[in-house]
Amino acid sequence: MTPIRVLIADDQAMFREALHLLLSAPDDIAVVGEAADGQQAIERCATLHPDVVVMDVRMPTVDGIEATRQIMAASGGDADDRRPRVLVLTTFDVDEHVYAALHAGAAGFILKDASAAALADAVRVVAAGDAMLAPSVTRRLIAQFARMGAPHAPLRSIAGLTVRETEVLALIAQGQSNVEIADQLSLSPETIKTHVGRILYKLGRRDRTQAAIFAWEHGVVQR
């Protein structure tokens, strides 16, 4: 199996080194580079072509949110492009920057005090195309949308989805995996995977996280 190529972006050298050591331990993950700020992360993504960028939010020169936005835009294209997946590092799970990072194109986030095993698992999850969002966190993000008064688009915006696809989208937005959704809807994981692919295609979204954001913004998820 080809190892997952990871780029680490954090302005604290000691923390970068710690992450490098932790992520170099598993056989299925390879750290291919480091960046001390968002600008370096953008430049090194262009040359190193990592599968996953472990990105700090607060960095000098260019912060993690803007770096994520530029990385997503620079490699742009369709759902089969080779843009890296961005896993955001944050100190608090209620960090006000989490939403902005996800909206910029991040695939998910993980707390800086997570265990080595949790960090490696998070890298694997986003590399596989899933969203790294715990249900407890999605509930808080949905509540944040309510406080912000995020406008709901007309229902015709999701008219292209079938009833079943809308059900699956709502469960994606609640942080559930394909296996969990399959169990809840009494369907096979393979069927759910097919539904997810159709949802992403119809909504023009690259991954589950972006589909979840769409669901929150359009009132598909019930608080």
- Residue stretches of the chain with pLDDT short of 70: 75-81, 92-96, 130-157, 159, 221-223
Listed by start position, the domains of the chain span: 4-132, 151-217
151-217 has the same fold as 4-132: no
The count of residues in the chain is 223
pLDDT (0 to 100) of residue 146? 52
pLDDT in tens, 176-190: 888 889 999 999 999
For the whole model, what pTM was predicted?
0.73
pLDDT (0 to 100) of residue 77? 46
- Among 3.30.1330.10, 1.10.10.10, 2.70.98.70, 3.40.50.300, what is the CATH number of 151-217? 1.10.10.10
Say if domain 4-132 classifies as CATH 2.40.50.140: no
pLDDT (0 to 100) of residue 56? 92
